[in-house]
Amino acid sequence: GESVGLHLPTLSVQEGDNSIINCAYSNSASDYFIWYKQESGKGPQFIIDIRSNMDKRQGQRVTVLLNKTVKHLSLQIAATQPGDSAVYFCAERRSNYKLTFGKGTLLTVNP
């Protein structure tokens, strides 16, 4: 079964608020994690990644936090915009380099 799962299947926020999307993983051997964004009718788009030897990584308006103790990954989006509305997937990479994706969280940004 899936070892990567999402706590919340849907998230609705107001424009300008910060969004936090969570993800749990169960394989402690996973060494690399990625967040993808998928807009309707498009393929997943890489947002940000983090290696297991880090606990935080920042990009443009996005931050990924990794808590290996509780096997938890989160994606924070600052000042959420309508264009951020999409499904967000976390993915983990195991030693065989295969990516395993979570089910996804639908983020809706209300104007």
Is 82 in a helix, a strand, or coil? helix
Q: Which is nearer to other proteins, 83 or 111 (CB)?
A: 83
CA torsion angle 45 68 4 28 (round to 10): 120
Give the residue, chosen from 42, 60, 70, 83, that forms a contact with other proteins under the rule CB under 8 A. 42
- Closest distance of CB 88 from other proteins, Å: 12
Question: Should residue 46 be labelled a site residue for other proteins when binding is judged by CB under 8 A?
Answer: yes
Q: How far apart are CA 40 and CA 71, in angstroms?
A: 29
Contacts with other proteins: how many residues (CB under 8 A)? 21
Q: Which is nearer to other proteins, 16 or 46 (CB)?
A: 46
Q: How far apart are CA 71 and CA 59, in angstroms?
A: 21
Residue 69 has phi, psi (to 5 degrees) of -60, -45
Residues 47-66, interacting with other proteins (CB under 8 A): 49
Using CB under 8 A as the criterion, which residues of the chain lie in contact with other proteins when the complex forms? 2, 32, 34, 36, 42-46, 49, 89, 93, 96-104
